[in-house]
Amino acid sequence: MSAHQKIKEAKTTLDGLDFYRYLLIAADASANESALQTQRGNSLTQTVEHLNITLEQSTFVYMNCKYEKRSPKDDAFSRDPGILCDIIAQALVDNECSITENKEEADYELTLITSTTQRSDGKTGVNPILTYYANAKGNLYNRATKKETANFTVLNHPDCYYEGRDPEDAATRAFKLPELKDKVLEKILPKIKN
């Protein structure tokens, strides 16, 4: 709604430029393209129209992100770092979706719950390395049909862990792995695109 409002304001401003352009021509019949800036105005109008069409065709997604604490040993973070939420939001935007903070205007509601699990403590084993899994679970709810269209769980997946200097470092690196993002997107994107 905010983007629609800003586009409407831009269109009103650009439409108002014609009045001043005609006024300038009436005051100075020798006004040239440099003074009138007709091409620039037309270019801006086309850009605004293109943005409006893109926005109208976009799928709006509301994201509800949470961090689930599991146990003192497994929790790499004391509060939600929002790492995977930001990554998924950017991936959705890259796939022609718009993220909205207003649940009422959304086409879909994505609930994303992240957690961490300690894979190795860095103190035991042949090669002691501190590693953490990045976990994600959630669902995609279609607000038009009022039905859950997808759910997913990525828990202690062998492609979704990483080592680090401390728990936060290891878990941050694990959440940034493209494999985790891909596993979530493969569950939700086909449902959004259909």
Digit-coded pLDDT (tens) for 16-63? 887 887 777 888 877 777 777 777 878 888 887 777 766 665 788 999
How high is the pLDDT of residue 13? 85
How high is the pLDDT of residue 162? 97
What residues in the chain have per-residue pLDDT under 70?
Answer: 1-4, 53-57
How high is the pLDDT of residue 1? 55
The token pair at 33 is 């393209």
How high is the pLDDT of residue 177? 97
